[in-house]
Structure 1
């Protein structure tokens, strides 16, 4: 790369990507907190999602520091940030695929024992391989300033390394390509299995008033199976496109729009998972709404101790029973 040919990161790009990092940070925290607080929601897939959220949380923190700093040399914090983001980003790929493999074995093969027995291997692979690759890259001095060739201000593989393309593949891109292939295949197979099972059961299922609710839940689960690989590819494709353009030495890799999309895609995964598995998951969403309503009730109650509320007033604070009825829909 010629001197002075670095990709410029504009202030508005920094602002947008920092917002994306913040959303991903809080989204990952929310996923982790909901798993810790509500013990009855601790299913095995949600536990795996929590591990994925830890990786996404580390990614959001490290990327936000890199975008804020916009490194210009191989400083010590550049190498540290590059090492953390390399480990967290690669681990995120592995955990995303691990969840898909678990769901495939659990749903399609109907073998929960086998699926649960793989969790230990998921830990060894999803933490161990990224850690080994990162340690090797740091020891061989491959992590460093990359002139935002395939980043947005943060550090990754040093662009001055003669074998930087190989290390870009090892520290992320090859696992990203494998995820592109694996996720759609696994989730398509899961969807087909669910459709076949649903069709078989529908022949014997009587028409009940609750069938609409059951169908709504099935439809939501089906949409999630479609959205998981679609959202992953939609977020990550911009990074892949810039990598390919770098290999072709195309100036299009420096396009501000492409750079911004790349920055959002690499940093928004935690927020996307929160939207799908917290905000779009009715039991979790309902409990969050109930918690917020209870907090608002307590704040209102403390602020109105000196006043008398009309029990029949529609503007009065919600009772706990009202919250349960309106949020949970219980009779």
Structure 2
């Protein structure tokens, strides 16, 4: 399976991880494109999601290069790839937590002003801290070939660094552990606050019972609040398991299935975010379908009429459209 400490990365593992990287790049790009294309979707939470998507895109590209190359030595491109992936991956952790903090302040503390004032702080921390850590690691020659001990072909903390476990913590793992603790707590508090608010309005339920569409949006937002920390943990836990096995000196970290899950999990965040916040968000999904239909008609030789009024989709009247666009004003479904 492995020679010494080196983990063998098989071709099948490379293909699967490269596919995951491609999906993550496409998903992150789609999130950015929808934000740019439709100005009414440019809420603050979705803008934070765009910054997260930039980090995930950069991370997926750097990981794809590393998996494609499967480095064997401390070459210059190995160090560059390791530095980029370290910065992007750590930045992704910070932006993921930043979105949760923003939603907590906005919803639970009911203060949009305070929540918006945190955006500058989020930028300073989410870009500045990863950059400082990465620059320090590169300057101290801590980034390089790691024999895929806790990676899948790409470079990270050099296997030759005597304090590599410390630098593994500083360049990723400690922030990953903090995200595991912070995200569930924040989203549970948000869900609890929403549940209490709904319970307080129970006397109005007979009136609201005639509006099932509103209930469907609330259910979707509630589902996303549940899925965000779960998906993050499910995707990232495999790299954590390998890191713990490394600390324990266990050869189980070389298991091909675990290595494959690690590779796919670390490179799938962009694709997962796209599924939740684009494909499972009805207003955006409706617009994408309409855009694809227009493209299909144009390619078929039918010129779209720019002066014609917008025609709602079957079963979608103007009131429903307004309700879709106003659903989850904090950005979960916009």
Query: TM-score under structure 2 normalisation?
Result: 0.91
Cα deviation code 1:75-129 (max 9, x no counterpart): 0000000000000000000000000000000000000000000000000000000
CA distance in 1, matches of 2:109, 2:42: 22
Question: Alpha-carbon deviation of 1:202?
Answer: 2.7
Change (3 A) 1:279 1:255: same
Q: Report if aligned partners of 1:7, 1:147 keep a CA contact under 8 Å in 2.
A: yes
Structure-to-structure mapping, 1:269-280, within 5 angstroms: 269-280=269-280
CA–CA separation in structure 1 for the residues paired with 2:18 and 2:142: 26
Residue correspondences, number: 315
SS in 2 for 1:118: helix
Q: Residue 314 of structure 2 aligns with which residue?
A: 326
Q: Structure 2: give runs of 5+ residues left out of the alignment.
A: 320-334
State the SS of the aligned residue for 1:242: helix
Residue 130 of structure 2 corresponds to residue 142 of structure 1: no
Judging changes above 3 Å, is the alpha-carbon distance between structure 1 residues 208 and 169 closer, same or farther for their aligned structure 2 residues? closer
Q: Which runs of 5+ in 1 are unaligned?
A: 306-319
Mapped partners of 2:287, 2:45: distance in 1:
19
User: 1:61, 1:98 → 2: CA distance?
Assistant: 23
Match of 2:182? Answer: 182
Helix, strand or coil for the counterpart of 1:227? helix
Range with bigger deviation, 45-54 or 203-212: 203-212
Query: Residues 248-294 of structure 1: CA distance to partner in whole angstroms, max 9, x if unpaired?
Result: 11010000000000000000000000000000000011100010011
RMSD: 1.8
Bigger drift between 320-329 and 222-231 goes to 320-329
**Distance (Å, rounded) in 2 between the aligned partners of 1:15 and 1:86:** 22
Q: How does 1:12-27 map to 2 (within 5 A)?
A: 12-27=12-27
The residue number in structure 2 matching 1:69 is 69
Q: CA deviation at 1:324?
A: 3.0
SS at the partner of 1:89?
helix
State how far apart, in whole Å, the 1-side matches of 2:317 and 2:268 are. Answer: 32
Residue 83 (structure 1) aligned with residue 79 (structure 2): no
